[in-house]
């Protein structure tokens, strides 16, 4: 019979694959150092594109334990998800047995899924005809294949979920997975996001919206959240996975407890298909909902990893929402956007940023917002500008806002008995 009292949910494992590195430590070190993972695109001919750079991860995610033939049948977003999931599982020390596999699940989402595979399939369809299509096109393209493949590979029989909510995907995956654990649907869930949007269609499509920075002459300085000279976001790719676990389960198996998920809030702007509500109501509401869920006051939050995409409208709205929620506390509340170092990883962004918050809680190192040379007066906050800040924190809030007006916030904290 289900207990009516929600269980505490903790983080016991971390894994990622990003433009800053192929694992958690390399990624966090790069973020703290203020290193940029943005560079010119060399995977396809981008010479005719309006934007010719992106946040690019390593060319080939290493999966040596899988047959090469099988890896070739995977889209890049799936390969990155598998690398991140493998690291997170190893980090957590999770062992799968017949006794526990039905209590372990997966919730890895993707905003777009196998975009490069889709492009290749269209070329084949129109150049060579439908009979030349590989039977693996659909399994390679669908967004839920990351969750599905991880569950197949490790034999997880618990919940198998895939959230597809644009740039909020990763946070929705983590927040909803935590609720599944809290109310007893599972004991462990691998949650996060994976995205591989750097293709001719992906870059061209976002550029056509005029959403991307066009700073082709200095790509490493193109992502500049909250800066007066920002001109759009930088497209990026990667994956981030957290192992979430019920506290009683983690304690029972002696798992490393890296942080606790204290709160989760969601909202909708209900305003525009791409632009945020100008009054910041959606961003404000989801932060307030997360605080309410955590049972915390605004003054209890000690660091914010902002959505901070480097778009002219989005940064102003988020900064105003942070000031509205935190009031005078915002004057001394450190805020940074790690998208400045790796670009916007879309459906993977929220998961990677939550992971960085966990590392900040563990190390007392707050990653900076790089390229913040002329802070926009309309974005006035306690910015961690250009240089990491060393301060012990107990709580961190991470924001993710997506197209369609979908918003979510997570609050993570140090685990305390």
The total of structural domains in the chain comes to 2
Instruction: Tell me: do 278 and 141 sit in the same domain.
Output: no
**Does residue 2 lie in a domain region?**
no
pLDDT at 3 over 60: no
Instruction: Tell me: do 233 and 284 sit in the same domain.
Output: no
Instruction: Tell me: do 66 and 215 sit in the same domain.
Output: yes
Q: Please write the tens of the pLDDT for every residue from 370-392.
A: 999 999 999 999 999 999 999 99
Catalytic residue among 16, 167, 357, 379: 167
Instruction: Tell me: do 61 and 197 sit in the same domain.
Output: yes
Instruction: Tell me: do 239 and 271 sit in the same domain.
Output: no
Indicate if 307 belongs to the active site: yes
Boundary of a domain, candidates 225, 252, 279: 252
**Does residue 393 lie in a domain region?**
yes
Q: What is the pLDDT of residue 417?
A: 81
Boundary of a domain, candidates 226, 252, 278: 252
Query: Does the reported pTM lie above 0.85?
Result: yes
Catalytic residue among 307, 357, 379, 383: 307
Q: Please write the tens of the pLDDT for every residue from 201-216.
A: 999 999 999 999 999 9
Indicate if 344 belongs to the active site: yes
Instruction: Tell me: do 211 and 350 sit in the same domain.
Output: no
Mean pLDDT over residues 402-407, rounded?
97
Instruction: Tell me: do 268 and 241 sit in the same domain.
Output: no
Instruction: Tell me: do 187 and 279 sit in the same domain.
Output: no
Mean pLDDT over residues 394-408, rounded?
98
Please state the φ and ψ torsions of residue 296, each to the nearest 5 degrees.
-115, 160
- Distance CA(18)–CA(56), nearest Å, equals 8
Tokens linked to 258: 């890296």
Average per-residue pLDDT in the chain? 97
pLDDT at 190 over 90: yes
Domain of residue 152, CATH code: 3.40.47.10
Residue 1: pLDDT band (50, 70, 90) is very low
Label residue 386 exposed, middle or buried (CB < 10 Å: 0-12, 13-18, 19+): middle
Mean pLDDT over residues 293-303, rounded?
98
Instruction: Tell me: do 182 and 92 sit in the same domain.
Output: yes
Q: What is the pLDDT of residue 173?
A: 98
Catalytic residue among 344, 357, 379, 383: 344
Q: 312-326 and 281-294 are packed helices; what angle lies between their axes, rounded to 10 degrees?
A: 40
**Domain of 299, in residue numbers:** 263-413
**Does residue 44 lie in a domain region?**
yes
Q: What is the pLDDT of residue 4?
A: 64
Residue 2: pLDDT band (50, 70, 90) is low
Instruction: Tell me: do 395 and 283 sit in the same domain.
Output: yes
H helices within 253-300, ranges in order?
Answer: 281-294
**Does residue 62 lie in a domain region?**
yes
**Does residue 4 lie in a domain region?**
no
Instruction: Tell me: do 247 and 270 sit in the same domain.
Output: no
Q: Please write the tens of the pLDDT for every residue from 40-58.
A: 999 999 999 999 999 999 9
């Amino acid at each position: 019979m289900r207990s009516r009292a929600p269980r505490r949910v903790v983080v016991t494992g971390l894994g990622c694959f990003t433009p800053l590195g192929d694992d958690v430590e390399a990624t966090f070190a790069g973020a703290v150092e203020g290193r940029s993972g943005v560079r010119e695109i060399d995977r396809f001919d981008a010479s005719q594109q309006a934007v010719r750079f992106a946040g690019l991860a390593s060319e080939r995610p290493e999966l040596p334990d899988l047959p090469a033939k099988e890896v070739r049948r995977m889209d890049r977003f799936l390969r990155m998800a598998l690398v991140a999931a493998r690291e997170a599982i190893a980090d957590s020390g999770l062992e799968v047995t017949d006794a526990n596999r039905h209590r372990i699940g997966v919730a890895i989402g993707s905003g777009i899924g196998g975009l490069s595979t889709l492009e290749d399939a269209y070329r084949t369809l129109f150049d060579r005809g439908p009979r030349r299509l590989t039977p693996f096109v659909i399994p390679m393209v669908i967004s839920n294949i990351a969750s599905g493949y991880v569950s197949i590979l490790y034999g997880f029989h618990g919940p198998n979920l895939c959230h597809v909510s644009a740039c909020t995907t990763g946070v929705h995956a983590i927040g909803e997975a935590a609720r599944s654990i809290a109310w007893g649907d599972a004991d462990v869930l691998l949650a996060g996001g994976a995205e591989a949007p750097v293709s001719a269609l992906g870059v061209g499509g976002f550029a056509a919206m005029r959403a991307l920075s066009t700073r082709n002459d200095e790509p490493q300085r193109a992502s500049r959240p909250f800066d007066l000279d920002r001109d759009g976001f930088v497209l990026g790719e990667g994956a981030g996975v957290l192992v979430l676990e019920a506290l009683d389960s983690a304690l029972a198996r002696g798992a490393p407890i890296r942080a606790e998920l204290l709160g989760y809030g969601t909202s909708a702007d209900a305003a525009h298909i791409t632009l945020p509500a100008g009054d910041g109501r959606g961003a404000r509401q989801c932060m307030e909902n997360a605080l309410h869920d955590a049972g915390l006051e605004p003054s209890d939050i000690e660091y914010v990893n902002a959505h901070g995409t480097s778009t002219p409208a989005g940064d102003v709205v988020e900064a105003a929402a942070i000031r509205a929620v935190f009031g005078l506390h915002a004057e001394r509340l450190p805020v940074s956007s790690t998208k400045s170092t790796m670009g916007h990883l879309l459906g993977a962004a929220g998961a990677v940023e939550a992971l960085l918050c966990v590392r900040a809680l563990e190390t007392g190192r707050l990653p900076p917002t790089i390229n913040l040379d002329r802070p926009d007066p309309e974005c006035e906050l306690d910015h961690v500008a250009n240089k990491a800040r060393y301060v012990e924190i107990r709580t961190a809030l991470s924001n993710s806002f997506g197209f369609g007006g979908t918003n979510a916030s997570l609050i993570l904290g140090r685990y305390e008995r």
